[in-house]
Structure 1
Amino acid sequence: MARVHAIRASLGSAGGRFRKRVPACVHCDWRARLEVPVWCRIRGCLRSYLHLHRRDGGVGFHAAVLTGVDGARRRRSHAAQPRRSGRMLRRPVAGTHSPDVLCRGGVGDGGIVLRVGRADPGDVHSLCFEVDGGRALMCGLFGVASVAPLEIPATLSALRAARDTLIHRGPDSQGDWFDAHVYVGHTRLSILDLSTSGAQPMLAGGVAMAANGEIYNFRQLRDELASDCRFVSGSDSEVLLHGYRVWGIDGLVARIEGMYAFVIYDSKAGRVHLVRDRVGIKPLYYAHLDGTLVWASELKAIEAYAEPLDVDYTALYDFLTYRYIPAPKSLYRQVRKLEPGCLLSFDCRSGRLDRSRYWTLRAAELELDNGDPTARIRALLEESVRSQQVSDAPLGFFLSGGIDSSTVVGMAAADHSNPHTFSIGFDVPEHSELHYASLVAKHANTRHSSATLHETDAVGLVAFMRKWFDEPYADTSALPTFLVSRLASQAVKVVLTGDGGDELFAGYDWYAAHAKRGQVAGSGWVLGATGRLKRRGGMVRRAARGLERYLFLSGLPYYTRLLGGMIANEKTDYRERWEVPDDYDDYWYFRQHYHTALPLPKRLQVLDFHTYLPDDVLTKVDRVSMANSLEARVPFLATPLIEALFALPASSLGRDKRLLQEVARPLLPPAILDRRKQGFGVPAAVWNDGVFDRTRTRQENLLAHLYPEFMT
């Protein structure tokens, strides 16, 4: 039996309602279901929940009045926040469900846009996600290793509670394994080998392994290992387990190609190894506390297990400079980020921790041996796009309308008919690229889906950034990236993106601006005077910042300003408030990757590759795609392609990404090849509300809105 409820959301004086009628199951237990709050568009007035759960042949939707744990009906005020959601059901639910429904939600102060079309019976997971203050349903890692016994089972509930803070990264299953001194937890999003044989942690010969990400050359490695190992799944992750047993940790990391973070525990050797991919596509945090190592894919899991933690105020100060907290720092003094291309080993007997780098970018400019590199670079990129389309789950593509994502789509369309593409635009027409995305979609014959981000929706989504990133992060392009991820997650589980193209092909506008500036520098008294003006705030401060940028800054301070950061003379109040030492180097992170021996264009490429790319771009893509149960792959960041491009002289790349234009010329229309880079940032020059207030920096606005405890 089934009945029908009407979803209604009172809009106060504005009036209105949700008029779509949604089939509902009478007999299901709400605590076991996945619950998505339905918010009205006028400042998040909560009136009901939309329940999603599995059913043979489709997805069921259940609109119901909010109830408490005891089943009693409850009311919530306009300021109330949605309660934490339940988990996805593992079995069919009694009742009759229709997969052919249409639901529409809105975004208020805490809501999320929800547009669901016809449910595909073969892809029910693409519509199942959890919303909990911005969290949704990818693989997640959490674990603990200790010299002292972990006292399991007494501590098992706390360990699993910390693991389950990452259930949004892996909704398909959760698993763990432990002995007296080590706990390995994992949450799984199934991409390759959707059966239970691909579940993790995986065990063999006294070795336990859990991984997040994808190994793109796993089939080749599996063939090499076949004579020595017995594989029980088709999962790419099993290659890591057996590869370690045959080649050891050093031999394994030298062979694998992909995006990954993984942990291996060798019980015979008494050692735990943590590994992060070469570029930093997948995250990995760790804390070394009194002979205990704790690790996790996201900071929230360590927060849940290792409280209390001490805030690192130099990290907050760095956030003002870089607009993110640079690795290896985190918001807390005790917690570090494992840097890209690094390996961390923990001795469970002595408590010793060893960190080493297993891959280093070589950026020497080599002589071209075959003249024009276009054909070679095209072949490497085609191979990367081809290898990253391997998936047992539905796959699609982000398409911004820029040359990077358009090239990826063009190459994929050459191999496969009708790929699925997804775009997001803005309510400011001159800032939106939807026209160009549609042009590429038509040219490549894709199934194209698009949506528009409005200012009011963006302001509402800002509140979720603290839960997405767990620490201050100021790149508001996370907002449209979140929504295009949400759009894609309704149809697919995996997307390929164009991220990394600007770093590899020198595409950022600030390269040319930096080259024009040269070494002109303002005198100390001039910068001191502008610093005093900036402390007055408002439009005076904005004018003083502009004067500095165009007339007096050079070197790393100028580069910092080009990227939206705050320079030393405008952070005096924060330095005093947070008791940052007077001799603290404001530009330490940039300085360690700024190699003056390289020509300026290549120097800036290397700098961005090691800083802006992993800590801003890839962090953004990982968190907001994971918040939508969506795996995002980056074909431009395949190791062979990276090494080939960074070996080229800067002159070979040309201006305005000329080399990439030539690579893509057979694939794309001239209107895409010849247009200038636009970028994917929000139209902040037009949006001037709240966090987009232009009289203060984006960093200060976000701290004031999301971390007010640090601003008093």
Structure 2
Amino acid sequence: MCGILGGNNTGWDYGAGIAHMQHRGPDGIRIVERPGFTLAFARLAIMDLSENGMQPMFSEDGRVGIVYNGEIYGYQGLKAELEKMRFRFRSESDTEVILNAYLAWGDRFIDRIDGMFALAIYDFRDETIKLYRDRAGIKPLYYYCLESDFAFASEMKGIIHLCTDMKLQKDDTAIYDYLNYSYIPEPKTVYKNIFKLEPAHRLVYSLRKKKISVREAYWKLRVSGAEGKRKKADELVEELRNLIRMSVRRHMTADVPVGTFLSGGIDSSIVTYESSLQNPKIETFSMGFADRRYDELRYAQSLVDKYGLTMNQRVFQRKDCTMLVGKIREWYDEPFADVSAFPTYLVSSLAKEKVDVVLTGDGGDEVFGGYPRYTMLQEREKNGIDNLLVSGIFQHLNRRRAFTGWETVFMDDLSCLLSSYGEPLSSGDRALRKKLGIPKDYDRFWHMRKYYVKDLPAITRGQYLDFKTYLPGSVLTKVDRASMAVSLETRVPLLDREIIEFAFGLSQEDRCPCGLLKGLLKKAYQEELGRGIAYRKKQGFNMPTDYLGAGDTAREKLLRTVWRDIWREEDM
């Protein structure tokens, strides 16, 4: 895990840009200038700790180079294939494998790699810079483009401190989006002319023409629209267990200590169980809460006791929230309102005391169908609630603000889904739309509508939407910034490409039999985890709602705190 940065303006301050991301890579910084472009790198040494693994890394003739943040899993097999093609390697790093794969297969190399990555390839042969972001959006990648200037970085702060002559202008529509989603959805950021590269996308910048020439998806997730049962459950269980076991084994490859986050939920418990098969002495890290309604330590402890693992734990308290709330801007560079960022930061700090890498259970809900809102979608569809008539009634009530407390009955699916991410905005927040100058015809659902496929079965439809929106925009963003703030690498075995394609390729009934959320996953691990963990009600990793102030929901309070207190208009 590292920080990467690059730009085409020789007058920019590359030292300052990469230094402001050194928390992502405290083990060394290197800046290399090449014709037409400068590359910079902050290293967190995980694979091949020697100087041979340092970046930027270049081909023997110096005409092709790479800076890269992330990990490629199972790269050893690809390396052996390249060695047969007479490519020589000077390191044991996956970075050099990516570089040689690009030299061997050109743009098609991306089909040969799997992992979490944000990478930039400098190719002076055709005078291009090529950016790639991983399929699920695990690793972040930002870029800036204005007139003839172009830059990229792992975090927005890198671009801000690099581009010394840039005048920042806030994007009011992004602020409005934030107040709806609790995060700013891709490709937007809080600033105009700075963008997020979307997951599974490639961007090509021409050094000669000084403009972006291509911005396109390189991978499309194929989703089954089937509803009924298609395969035998026992066969699916065996295949799923093999896929998860192989993924965990690959994700544990490192030249530094590896542990796991263990919340007590099914996803992190599965990852921890499979990790213990590879390393019976693996360290686990858990965060508890004084309020028992939010605390899951007893479930995590039961798994640890069952398999004789080592548990490291800490209890999140109100004072921790008070201390950390002002860190949002420092971590995320833009408004972000997922309250679980605070306990995520503290459990990352706890883990960093003993390990440099942790495996997490993130992605399990989106890939296997774990959120209660999927059941809501299924029930609405079964009862015929989502139709033009009720949607029209809701829109009428919305215009008149004639809400009665049961208005979700009249919501269309998108409105209902949006409110399931958090409480609907108050009338005071809605008034901000007018203050921000948001056009009357602005579609606040634009991000969700892009990936809302009505023809898919209800649960599958919700999963696909979350996989494309909520997962990269909120879940993975939260974990990346909170963990990298303490230089801890987090890996997500359940977002292995083969697992994603396997799960979304199943019929809805095979994935969630009889509408049971995560039914296949639960059946696969019910014996190993115990039914008390496998089948208990989903709890989620959230802090007590009153930690941000009495009388407010956590989300509503944080929305206002982040926007009004931390992001004052004069700072924009």
Structure 1 pair 174–599 and aligned structure 2 pair: CA distance change class (3 A): same
Render the CA deviation track for 1:436-479: whole Å, top value 9, x for unaligned. Answer: 11111111221110000001211221110111000011111111
Q: Which residue of 1 aligns with 2:76?
A: 219
Partner AA of 2:453 in structure 1:
H
Shift of 1:511: 1.2
Q: Where in structure 2 are there 5+ consecutive unaligned residues?
A: none
User: How far apart are 1:522 and its partner, in Å?
Assistant: 5.2
2:93 is paired with a residue of what secondary structure?
coil
Q: 1:533 and 1:694 mapped to 2: Cα distance?
A: 23
- Match of residue 193 from structure 1: 48
1:435 counterpart = 2:298: yes
Kept in 2, the 8 Å contact 1:692–1:698? The answer is: no
Secondary structure at the aligned position of 1:504 is classed as helix
| Superposed displacement of residue 651, structure 1 | 1.0
Matching residue of 2:238:
375
Deviations 1:235-277 (A, max 9, x none): 11111111111111x2210100110111110122211111100
Q: Shift of residue 344 of structure 1?
A: 0.7
Choose from 134, 138, 156 the match for 1:281.
138
Change (3 A) 1:302 1:383: same
Decide which of 390, 399, 408 is 2:262's aligned counterpart: 399
Q: How do 1:230-269 and structure 2 match up within 5 A?
A: 230-248=88-106, 250-269=107-126
Deviation at 1:352, TM superposition (A): 3.2
Report the secondary structure of 2:560's partner residue: helix
Query: Superposed, which structure 2 residues align to 1:477-496 within 5 Å?
Result: 477-496=340-359
In structure 2, the residue matched to 1:469 is 332
* Contact 1:178 1:184 (C-alpha < 8 Å) held by counterparts: yes
Matches of residues 268-667 of structure 1 in structure 2 within 5 Å? 268-306=125-163, 307-353=166-212, 354-365=214-225, 368=230, 372=234, 373-518=236-381, 519=385, 544=403, 546-549=405-408, 551-564=409-422, 566=424, 572-654=430-512, 655-667=516-528
d(CA) in 2 for partners of 1:585, 1:533 = 18
Distance 1:208 1:545 in 2: 60
TM-score by length of 1: 0.75
CA positional deviation for 1:168? 0.6
- SS of aligned partner of 2:517: helix
CA deviations on 1:622-648 (whole Å, 9 max, x unpaired) are: 101101110000000001110010011
Whether the aligned pair in 1 keeps the contact of 2:251 and 2:491 (CA below 8 Å) is: yes
Q: Any idea what SS the aligned residue of 1:665 has? A: helix
Partner residue in 2 for 1:113: none
* 1:454-507 Cα distance to aligned partner (Å, 9 max, x none): 012112211101110000111111111111101000000000000000011110
SS at the partner of 2:120? Answer: strand
Q: Does the 8 Å CA contact 2:4/2:153 hold for their aligned counterparts?
A: yes
Deviation at 1:321, TM superposition (A): 1.3
Q: Is the 8 A contact 1:321 1:565 kept in 2?
A: no
Give the structure 2 partner of residue 179 of structure 1: 34
Q: Does the C-alpha gap of structure 1 residues 704 and 202 become closer, same or farther in structure 2, counting only changes over 3 Å?
A: same
Backbone CA RMSD of aligned residues = 2.3
Partner residue of 1:699? 559
- Sort the Cα spacing of 1:524 and 1:406 in 2 relative to 1 into closer, same or farther, 3 A: same
Does structure 2 conserve the Cα–Cα contact (< 8 Å) formed by 1:503 and 1:608?
yes
The one of 555, 569, 572 equivalent to 1:709 is 569
SS of equivalent to 2:547: coil
**Post-superposition CA distance 1:508-535 (Å, at most 9, x none):** 011112333342575767765566669x
How many pairs does the alignment contain?
A: 555
- Tell whether the 8 Å contact from 1:342 to 1:359 is kept in structure 2 after alignment: yes
User: Aligned letter for 1:323?
Assistant: S
- Taking structure 2 as the reference length, the TM-score comes to 0.92
Amino acid at match of 1:163: I
Cα distance in structure 1, aligned partners of 2:551 and 2:245 = 40
Aligned partners of 1:485 and 1:277: how far apart in 2? 23
Letter of the aligned partner of 1:667 in structure 2? Answer: E
Tell me the SS of whatever aligns to 2:528.
coil
> Which residue identity is paired with 1:314?
T
In structure 2, what is the equivalent of residue 681 of structure 1? 542
How far apart, in 1, do the equivalents of 2:335 and 2:423 lie? 14
Structure having the higher Rg = 1
Residue identity in the other structure for 1:679: G
For 1:669, the aligned partner's letter is: G
Query: In 2 relative to 1, CA 361–691 (structure 1 residues): closer, same or farther, beyond 3 Å?
Result: farther
Q: Is the 8 A contact 1:399 1:437 kept in 2?
A: yes
- Distance (whole Å) between structure 1 residues aligned to residue 110 and residue 285 of structure 2: 34
Picking from 161, 166, 185, the partner of 2:21 is: 166
- Structure 1 unaligned residues grouped into runs of 5+: 1-137, 535-543
Note the C-alpha offset of 1:410. Answer: 0.9
Distance 2:393 2:247 in 1: 52
Distance of 1:323 and 1:517 partners within structure 2: 25
Please state which structure has a larger fraction of its residues in helix: 2
Tell me the distance in 1 between the aligned counterparts of 2:554 and 2:327.
21
* Alpha-carbon contact 1:485-1:628 (below 8 Å) kept: yes
Counterpart-to-counterpart distance in 2, 1:691 and 1:222: 58
Cα separation, partners in 2 of 1:361 and 1:514, compared to 1, 3 Å: same
Q: Provide the rounded CA distance (Å) in 1 between the counterparts of 2:245 and 2:375.
A: 29
Q: Residue 539 of structure 2 aligns to a residue in which SS?
A: coil
Quick check: 520-529 or 632-641, which moved more?
Answer: 520-529
**Partner amino acid, structure 2, of 1:673:** A
For residues 211 and 639 of structure 1, do their structure 2 counterparts lie closer, same or farther at Cα, with a shift above 3 Å needed? same
The code of the aligned residue for 1:384 comes to: S
